Amino acid sequence: MIPQNAVSDSLPIPSPTVLCKELDEGAVLFCSRTEVYFGLNSVGVVIWNALADGARTLDALVEALEARYPDQDGHVLRADAQEFVDALSESELLVTPAADRADP
């Protein structure tokens, strides 16, 4: 079971150094700071756009996915969304909002 508290559920946001170019069947992300390219399929685009539009918790992100893909299992959507967010974060395409960072 995933802990349900504001800190652990708070999602990172798209980095301001990332450009997103949507294509017919997905999108390409490019980070001008790290020079990382990342390809997205159509589900990845939905997740990226939800994060860009302010989905700040995993619950909010999963709700957006469930609305778009109502026939999919919510637990699978949650696990896949978390894995994808983690991959984007590891590639430095998502960042922790300044308000969520601990002061040094």
Q: Note the pLDDT tens digit of each residue in 28-79.
A: 999 999 999 999 999 999 999 999 999 999 999 999 999 999 999 999 999 9
Q: Give the distance between the most distant pair of CA atoms in the chain.
A: 45
Decide: pTM greater than 0.95. Answer: no
Asked if the model's pLDDT at residue 88 lies above 50, the reply is yes
Decide: helix, strand or coil at residue 52: helix
What domains are defined for the chain?
17-93 (1.10.10)
pLDDT attached to residue 9: 63
7 against 59, higher pLDDT = 59
Contact 99, 20 (CB under 8 A): no
CA distance 57 to 28: 24
What average pLDDT does the segment 14-23 reach?
Answer: 96
Contact 84, 77 (CB under 8 A): no
Helix axis angle, 74-90 to 58-68, nearest 10°: 120
